[in-house]
Structure 1
């Protein structure tokens, strides 16, 4: 690396956004001496796009094409199978590079904090999504889908994704990159009814209109919502922002309007149903007296204080029990600390920062959900990442980040990894994995059939 060269280590663990690579590459158009090294815990790149995006949303995964172009940039290198915080410390990265950007997402689960949440039959949405998307750490999940009713706690896009995957016809799923074990389990699933439960009301629902439309149009399903959940909503949405108004109007139409003859016929023939249940919070997971498995969930009935996005759910003292054999918690993710040298706010579960600059740690930056908490979609995180990249570029220009002296970069890190018995997976190794997966998928009429264990991935990568 020349004296004025800049190298950046990007720590990229399981649930993360690779978009920051793209924004750094945009910056490198202005600085040809900028070099970017990406460190990833798994042998495969693309993080949340590979392991978080629903398998029936291939259009969202097209962003991988942009990431691939960036990864093949002459000034960009990928090192998979490197666990930052374990195989190499953040301090060691800071010594080797002028700047380090942490963007390892939010791989922790937020606890419901209710009795019974550790029982068999209760899963986090993160793990359930990881199971059907091929995340190696989730392949032993083997969820029991032998019940008729599933309850999903939370009403964001992930919750709706899970509901849609549970209810989708197998003929649709088998054309996606869903894993074969998950496809086999869903083909035998007895789940016919899915309730998507939220503590607040229709105006506060957290999913987007795209996900809602997909549920409304999902073949062989019908909506069954409670008219009482929508009392006063028509009047209340008159002054809300247009995107929120359109979403709530679609909910109202789906719940209350009499469908046309064709739609009514479709609903009458449907063998599966789904519904949003509003103004409900989990109180306890219920079991049969002679079983450690769940038999249902007790929900508190809420009312709202305030209006709009700031409305708060307040307990009424009423409860209701719902019989079910599967509960999936989709109440949010949280980041976790990976290295004791990195400041971490345990209450907010983020790295304290200002525009991506980690507080009291010159040369250390963060991006994505580690920076903001688990909020927003890919586009939101793209803008978030642009801000972090701009902060870094400004600090280079101002001299806050001293780039006058050369740094050894990957040369010293690779030497450390070799001594520790860690063999990184470079991007051409990933392309071997990609080739095997797409070939296996082609044989089944799918975009790809993912390798499901780190051992399999490494065996292919290092052939």
Structure 2
């Protein structure tokens, strides 16, 4: 039997897709004809009390059992048909839809601006991270539910207004993400040859917004400012074997351009030291052990005492960086990780020719020559017309997912994902985030606190 730890599962769907005969199905998505199997499965484990909040231990197994969740009816003052509009179809939106559809009377309509659904799960994951992309199997399963429809090429404000959505649904859940980059505010960032790493990710993933964002590949060196996972993704793709990339989902136009790339070195530069690296440990392990050509100058680790680091994850990152620094300098093209350098300005007249740095905390200057400069210092949400915006945080103003104005909830308006909490976490983080918002939305429905729509949803 397959054991799934309910405290760590993010419902990515990998176990479902791995079953060769399709025998693993979440209880709340069983068809009416197969609904009996939930009871049969529960009966297979006598003595185990199922609960939504506790996971009792059966003595002979000494393992917690995840609860079987079957479709349930909303209670209280919830309407016979609860119509919910979700704006966006990325991970936070699809996790929210999955939670909502556990209730029989909920009808969900998803409004997606792009021609394809699932947001960053489709357009933001590196093409060679194929296992991460399997989460779309779950989202496809959610999309097949009879009580959901996904309207593609439908933009709020262009094809339909937020007010129209509010007038035809009991609630609107905004899951539009954080679609803009944090700007790097130094001289020279407006030169040709300078762009965001996000635009490059969109380019090689075939995102329609970035079809014309091809980076300059006729230079021998590229500099990436920032060292989060996106920075490492771009560096890895730039230095990867293009024959291996050909077997991935990379955009064909991008693959053709990369085959002709002249880039020999990608320098990923961080403002702080290696103990503060923004990339995750799994990302670094994948880079170090996954065939990428990566190197760290041993001098970058001078003065970093692993013994003094109390966080085991951070200590493991530093130890792995030290191991990488002891390897021979790899063959070109390769990635070089650099630390403790603050960018001062991008050099060049019309086109970027390099970046001037100062050693962080000092006035010691240095220059890295490069014809391509990518900024990767994070994402930021942008204001949504009709929704209160917290400009300091770059998020929609809310309390636990309920959109608020001057601290007071606006009936029928909710938010989830990066536009709710800021650009943090990974794909699975959205499951918990969306669960909180949906729980409050359904509580409001049962309390009779949602507006009553005046008509049927607008067809677009």
- Residue number among 91, 94, 101 corresponding to 1:28 in the alignment: 101
Q: Which residue of 1 aligns with 2:352?
A: 294
Residues in 2 aligned to 1:195 and 1:409: alpha-carbon distance in whole angstroms = 55
Structure 1 CA distance for aligned equivalents of residues 249 and 156 of structure 2: 28
| 1:56 and 2:128 are equivalent in the alignment | yes
Q: After superposition, where does 1:46-195 map in structure 2 within 5 Å?
A: 46-195=118-267
- Looking at structure 2, the residues matched to 278 and 250 of structure 1 have their Cα atoms a distance apart, in angstroms, of 15
1:4 & 1:220 partners in 2: Cα distance?
55
Aligned residue pairs, count: 379
Aligned to 2:435: 386
Supply the distance in 2 between the matched residues of 1:380 and 1:395 (Cα, whole angstroms). Answer: 24
1:53-452 pair list within 5 angstroms: 53-217=125-289, 219=291, 221-237=293-309, 239-240=310-311, 242-255=312-325, 257=326, 259=327, 264=328, 270-287=331-348, 291-302=349-360, 315-339=361-385, 341-360=386-405, 361-402=410-451, 405=452, 408-410=455-457, 413-414=458-459, 417=460
Distance 1:233 1:395 in 2: 52
User: Which position in structure 2 is the counterpart of 1:312?
Assistant: none
Displacement, 1:99? 0.4
Alignment CA distance shift 1:246-1:224 (3 Å) = closer
Q: Which runs of 5+ in 2 are unaligned?
A: 1-77
- The answer to whether the 8 Å contact 1:226/1:277 transfers is no
Decide whether the 8 Å contact of 1:220 with 1:271 is kept in 2. no
The superposition leaves residues 36-65 of structure 1 with CA deviations (integer Å, 9 ceiling, x where unpaired) of: 100001121111111100000111111111
SS at match of 1:20: helix
CA contact (8 A) 2:109 2:150 kept: yes
CA contact 2:231–2:376 (8 Å) conserved in 1: yes
Task: Tell me if the contact between 1:84 and 1:338 (Cα under 8 Å) persists in the aligned partners.
Answer: no
CA deviation string 1:80-110 (max 9, x = no partner): 1111122211111111100000011111121
Does the CA contact (< 8 Å) of 1:38 and 1:77 recur in 2? Answer: yes
Q: 1:53 to 1:220 in 2, by over 3 A?
A: closer
CA, structure 1 residues 407+63, in 2 after alignment: closer, same or farther (shift >3 Å)? farther
Q: Name which structure has the greater RCO, CA cutoff 8 Å, separation 6+.
A: 1
Q: Distance in 1 between matches of 2:300 and 2:116?
A: 48
Aligned counterparts of 1:23 and 1:230: Cα–Cα separation in 2 = 46
Query: How far off is 1:249 after superposition?
Result: 1.8
1:356–1:365 Cα contact (<8 Å) kept: yes
Shift of residue 199, structure 1, vs aligned partner: 1.1
CA distance in 2, matches of 1:51, 1:318: 40
Is residue 9 of structure 1 aligned with residue 85 of structure 2? yes
How far apart in 1 are the matches of 2:127 and 2:260?
19
1:119 is paired with a residue whose SS is: coil
Deviation, 1:406, is 5.8
Q: Distance in 2 between matches of 1:140 and 1:43?
A: 17
Alpha-carbon distance in structure 2 between the residues aligned to 1:233 and 1:162 = 29
Q: TM-score, normalised by structure 1?
A: 0.78
Aligned equivalents of 2:296 and 2:219: distance in 1?
19
Residue 363 of structure 1 aligns to a residue whose secondary structure is: strand
Report the CA distance between 1:208 and its aligned residue.
Answer: 1.4
1:445 is aligned to none
1 CA distance for matches of 2:384 and 2:294? 44
Kindly state the Cα deviation for residue 382 of structure 1 after the two structures are TM-superposed.
Answer: 1.8
Once the two structures are superposed, what CA deviation does each residue of 1:114-162 show, in whole Å capped at 9, x if it has no partner?
1110111111011111110001111112221111111111111101000
C-alpha contact (below 8 Å) 1:3/1:406 kept by paired residues = no
Separation in 2 of the partners of 1:192 and 1:278? 20
